[in-house]
Amino acid sequence: MTDQNSADPKNANALWGGRFDAGPSAIMEEINASIGFDKRLYAQDIQGSRAHCAMLVRQGIIAAEDGDKIAQGLDRILQEIESGQFTFSTALEDIHMNVESRLRDLIGPAAGRLHTARSRNDQVATDFKLWVRDVALTDLEAGLRGLQEALIDQAEKHVATIMPGFTHLQAAQPVTFGHHMLAYVEMFGRDRGRIADCRVRINENPLGSAALAGTPYPIDRHMTASALGFDRPTANSLDAVSDRDFALEYLSAASITAMHLSRLAEEMVIWCSAQFKFIGMSDKFSTGSSIMPQKRNPDAAELIRSKIGRIVGCFNGLMLSMKGLPLAYSKDMQEDKEPVFAAHDHLGLCVAAMTGMVADMKVFTDRMRAAAGAGYTTATDLADWLVSELGMPFRDAHHVVGATVKLAESKGCDLDQLPLADLQAIEPKITDAVYAVLTVEASVAARKSFGGTAPERVAEAVKEARKRFLK
C-alpha cells in the first residue's frame, strides 16, 4: 500500500484549512473535488460574485475600493478562463475556491472580503440555477423550436400526401403525412411548455441565504436578485440551499423530450427500411455496413432512440441522490451537476441530429400512397356509409363490413375492387354510390373534424402551428 496521506499542515486547504493540522489524503482530495466538472459553472460563478460584491459595496459592508479591486480581478479571471490560461486545481476542490484563490493571487487580501455574508452553499445553488436557466433551458428551448420548424416545413409540403395511419402498428385508417408530422409538433410544443414552467419556478435567488440560516450582515437580497435576472429572493434560507427541484424539473422535462424523440426515431427507422421505404434518410445521417455493401443504416435515429436510457438515468440518479437528505446542504448534492450536464449534452445532440434528419429526409409519396390502401384501411368508411346512407346501427354495419373484408381477403382484392353484386349479396341495400367512400383520398378528405387529418384541416393546422410555435 502506498501512503495516501499528505499529512503536512502546509497542504491544508488555504481557504478553509484553519483548524486542520494536515492536508487531506490523496483519495479524499479525489473524491471530494468537483472542479473536474463544475468548472463549467465558471461564468455563472463570476456573474454571481460580481452581483454579490456590488451589493456588499452598496450596503457599506465592504469598501468601494475593495469592491473595485474584486470586480476587476473577477473580470481578469473570466478572461483567463475563456482564453485557456487559467490553471484549475483539484486541491482547491471546486470552481468557487479556484476563482477565489486566483483572486487572492491577483489582488491580495481584499479578495478575502468577497466571501462576506455568503457561503459556498448559497453560491453553488445560485450558480447552478443560473446555468440551468440560461444554458440548459435556453438551449433546449431553441433546439426544440428549430425541430418544430423542420417538422412544420415537412407538414406543409405534405398536407395531402396519403399514408397509412396505424394502431398497434397495424394499418388502421389512411392519414396524411402532414398530419403525422404535426403530431410531433404538438409533442415538442408541450415540451417547450414544460421548459417555460421550469423557468417560472427556478427564478428565485438563493444568494444571501448563506450557509443555511441567513446572515447578520445588512445585505440586500432584492438587489442581487434583480442583478441576476431573478424575480425575487428565495423566501426560506434552509430551503434555498437544499433545493435542487429546478434541476430535477429540467431532467424530467428532458426525459419526456427524449421519450418523444425516441418515438419519432423509431418511426424513422421503420419508415426507411426496405420493407416500408416511406422515407429515405440522407447520406448525412446514414452510415454503411463494413460487411454488407448494400446497406444504409439509420444510425443517428437508432442512437436517438437509445439516448433516452441515459437521460432518464440522469433523472433517476439525481432523484436518488436527493432522496432522504436532511436539511440543509449535504455534500451528496455536489452530485447534482454531472447528470444535468450529461443530459444537456446528449439531448442537445439528439435534437440537432433529429432536426437535420427531418429536414433532409426524402419522402416517397408513391410508396406511402400504395401502402395507405393495403390492409382494408377504408373499412371504417364503408361502415360509416352504411350508417349514414342506410340508417343502419353502427354495430350491425360493423358486422356487414367484417363479412365484406373477409370476402375481399378470400378474393385477394381491395374493397373498392369488389363488384356491386358481391356487396349486395352481403347487404342488398348497398348501391354503387358506396364506391365514392372506399378510396383512401375520400377517406382522408372526409375526416374534417377539428384536429382531423383532412388535407384542408392540415393546411389550416400548419398555419396555426407557425403562429403558435414559430412567431
Residue 101 within binding range of ligand ARG, rule CB under 6 A: no
Q: Which stretch binds ligand ARG (CB under 6 A): 76-84, 154-162, 326-334, 378-386?
A: 326-334
Helix (H) or strand (E) holding 363: strand 362-363
Cell 502546509 -> residue: 10
Residues 55-94 contacting ligand ARG, CB under 6 A = 94
The reply on whether position 38 binds ligand ARG by CB under 6 A is: yes
Residue partners of 133: CB distance under 8 A and separation at least 6: 199, 202, 203, 229, 246
C-beta of 94 vs 149, nearer to ligand ARG: 94
Write out the catalytic residue numbers. 168, 289
Q: Is 120 in the site for ligand ARG (CB under 6 A)?
A: yes
Stretch that binds ligand ARG, among 116-124, 269-277, 284-292, 446-454 (CB under 6 A): 116-124
Residue 124 near ligand ARG by CB under 6 A: yes
- Would you state the cell numbers that stand for residue 233, as one nine-digit string? 429572493
Interface with ligand ARG, residue 240, by CB under 6 A = no
Cell of 341: 450536464
- Collapsed DSSP state (helix, strand, coil) of residue 16: coil
Q: Rule CB under 6 A: say whether 34 interacts with ligand ARG.
A: yes
The region of 103-111, 158-166, 331-339, 372-380 touching ligand ARG under the rule CB under 6 A is 331-339
CA–CA gap between residue 192 and residue 171 (Å, rounded) = 31
Please state the closest distance from residue 242 (CB atom) to ligand ARG, in A. 11
Count how many Cα atoms sit within 13 Å of the Cα of residue 450 in the half-sphere of its side chain.
1
Choose the stretch contacting ligand ARG; rule: CB under 6 A; options: 42-50, 143-151, 304-312, 325-333: 325-333
Residue from 207, 333, 392, 434 touching ligand ARG (CB under 6 A): that is 333
Closer by beta carbon to ligand ARG, 42 or else 376: 42
52 versus 457: smaller Cβ distance to ligand ARG: 52
Q: Is 403:423 a contact under the CB 8 Å cutoff? A: no
| Interface with ligand ARG (CB under 6 A), residue from 230, 329, 376, 469 | 329
- What the block records as the C-alpha cell of 388 is 349514414
First to last CA, the chain: 65
Does 122 participate in binding ligand ARG (rule CB under 6 A)? no
In angstroms, rounded to a whole number, what is the distance separating the alpha carbons of residues 150 and 285?
15
CB 257 within 8 A of CB 140: yes
129 binds ligand ARG (CB under 6 A): no
255 lines the binding site for ligand ARG (CB under 6 A): no
Q: CA 327 → CA 202, 222, 317, 330, distances in Å?
A: 19, 24, 19, 8
What would the grid cell of residue 226 be? Answer: 434583480
Minimum distance of ligand ARG from residue 320's CB (angstroms): 16
Q: Which of 68-76, 169-177, 254-262, 330-338 is the region at the interface with ligand ARG (rule: CB under 6 A)?
A: 330-338
Q: Is 210 in the site for ligand ARG (CB under 6 A)?
A: no
Task: Give dist(CA 212, CA 206) in Å, integer.
Answer: 10
**In Å, how far are 21, 23, 212 from 17, measured between CA atoms?**
8, 8, 21
Residues that bind ligand ARG (CB under 6 A): 34, 38, 94, 120-121, 124, 329, 331, 333-334
